[in-house]
Amino acid sequence: MPELPEVEAVRRELAPAMRGARFRRVIVRRAGLRTLFPDRFAARLRGRTVRGLVRRGKYLLADLSSGETLLMHLGMSGSFQVDHPAPGRVSIGVAKDVGDAHDHVVFQMSSGATITFNDPRRFGVMDLVPSAALDQHAALGAMGPEPLSRDFEPQALARVCAGRRAPIKVALLDQRVVAGLGNIYVSEALHLAHLSPRRPASRMARPSGTPRESAVHLVRAIKTTLERAIERQQNPRYRSARFRVYDREGQPCVTTGCDGAIKRITQAGRSTFYCPVCQTG
């Protein structure tokens, strides 16, 4: 499933085609994806201007001139494809070699771009939400701070982890702790911070509630990991060398001076990759 860096890369590619443009035509080829499309979905979009396009966690939010927000989630296999007036086709999102049978929604924009949402497994989401009520939306209301924002700092991490008995790897997957993190980049950040994925989340905070040094290192590692991953989205060859530990079981640790090998364990039903030699904190 796409995580924050992949979704942010999609937002950056969609923004020039959508921001400031009107929906000239909306084609909906099925009743819904993971859930049904809202009532009169196409009609409520048609003629509306996209005033802004932001990311919240793993969701894309298009602020509309109607006072509603178009909420979009890629699900497990969703991708957007943008056709510009000039020759050429730019694919963004999760690369899938699939046919047009999975092109479920098409936006024809006043910018001249045609934006097609393709989703073979149909776990994506598109919804229309009153913009004033976004904070009450089930998917967004309880979401934690954005990890690349100033709100996500060591004190905030210590505060939300205090008293949590779950391992820090599991805690960071909780969207109420921090928004947008997923299995891949949590493993990567913990390795960069040299912290064990088994470490109790509560140990991010001292008894007084102030952050330990581990919280400082982890917040810094999360921000660095995500920023690097977003940059790599623009490199078509990034997949071959993008991970420090994820999916590298049995391979040498990349930490300078470490002679460990990457190990895989299961936590909360998900694979965790880490180095048992240098991730002891």
Kindly write down the DSSP assignment for every residue of 203-265, as one continuous string: GGB-TTSPBPHHHHHHHHHHHHHHHHHHHHTT-TTGGGG--SSTT-TTSBP-STT---B-EEE
Same domain for 115 and 231, yes or no, is: no
Same domain for 84 and 122, yes or no, is: yes
In this prediction, residue 234 carries a pLDDT of 72
Q: In the predicted model, what is the mean pLDDT of residues 15-40?
A: 96
Q: In the predicted model, what is the mean pLDDT of residues 137-156?
A: 95
The answer to whether residue 97 sits within a structural domain is: yes
> In the predicted model, is pLDDT for residue 97 greater than 70?
no
- 96 pLDDT band, cuts 50/70/90, is very low
Q: Which of 3, 8, 68, 146 is catalytic?
A: 3
CA distance 210 to 91: 45
Q: In the predicted model, what is the mean pLDDT of residues 192-217?
A: 97
Cβ atoms of 198 and 220 closer than 8 Å: no
- Looking up residue 21, the CATH number of its domain turns out to be 3.20.190.10
Return the percent helix, strand and coil in the chain, to nearest 5: 30, 25, 45
Same domain for 24 and 129, yes or no, is: yes
- Return the number of other C-beta atoms located less than 10 Å from residue 188's C-beta: 24
- 101, 136, 171 - which closes a domain: 136
Same domain for 120 and 170, yes or no, is: no
Q: Which of 58, 164, 169, 248 is catalytic?
A: 58
The answer to whether residue 271 sits within a structural domain is: no
Map residue 175 onto helix, strand or coil: coil
At 143, list the tokens.
């979401």
Q: In the predicted model, what is the mean pLDDT of residues 178-200?
A: 97
In this prediction, residue 209 carries a pLDDT of 94
Higher pLDDT, 24 or 100: 24
- 91 pLDDT band, cuts 50/70/90, is very low
Same domain for 35 and 110, yes or no, is: yes
- Its pTM surpasses 0.85: yes
At 253, list the tokens.
């640790």
Tell me the CB-side half-sphere exposure of residue 269, using CA atoms within 13 A. Answer: 1
- Looking up residue 175, the CATH number of its domain turns out to be 1.10.8.50
- 95 pLDDT band, cuts 50/70/90, is very low
The answer to whether residue 78 sits within a structural domain is: yes
In this prediction, residue 65 carries a pLDDT of 98
Is there a catalytic annotation at residue 270? yes
Same domain for 129 and 196, yes or no, is: no
Same domain for 121 and 179, yes or no, is: no
At 201, list the tokens.
């989340």
Residue 96's nearest CA partner among 114, 77, 82, 81 is 77
In this prediction, residue 241 carries a pLDDT of 61
Is there a catalytic annotation at residue 2? yes
pLDDT by residue (tens digit) across 105-138?
Answer: 999 999 999 999 999 999 999 999 999 999 999 8
> In the predicted model, is pLDDT for residue 147 greater than 80?
yes
Is there a catalytic annotation at residue 231? no
Q: In the predicted model, what is the mean pLDDT of residues 45-71?
A: 98
Q: 């960069």: which residue's tokens?
A: 192
Same domain for 190 and 160, yes or no, is: yes
Same domain for 185 and 131, yes or no, is: no
The CA angle 78-142-219, to the nearest 5 degrees, is 85
The answer to whether residue 269 sits within a structural domain is: no
The answer to whether residue 270 sits within a structural domain is: no
- 103, 136, 169 - which closes a domain: 136
Element (H, E) at 105: strand 103-109
> In the predicted model, is pLDDT for residue 221 greater than 70?
yes
How many domains are there within the chain? 2
The answer to whether residue 255 sits within a structural domain is: no
- Please state, rounded to an integer, the average pLDDT across all residues of the chain: 92
The answer to whether residue 148 sits within a structural domain is: no
Same domain for 9 and 126, yes or no, is: yes
- 85, 103, 136 - which closes a domain: 136
Q: Which of 122, 198, 220, 270 is catalytic?
A: 270
Same domain for 81 and 187, yes or no, is: no
Is there a catalytic annotation at residue 58? yes
The answer to whether residue 69 sits within a structural domain is: yes
Q: Which of 2, 147, 154, 167 is catalytic?
A: 2
pLDDT by residue (tens digit) across 235-255?
Answer: 766 655 679 999 999 999 999
In this prediction, residue 1 carries a pLDDT of 76
Q: In the predicted model, what is the mean pLDDT of residues 206-219?
A: 97
Same domain for 130 and 83, yes or no, is: yes
Which domain does 16 fall in, by range? 4-136
- 94 pLDDT band, cuts 50/70/90, is very low
Contacts of 231 (CB under 8 A, 6+ apart): none
Burial of 222 (0-12, 13-18, 19+ CB in 10 A): buried
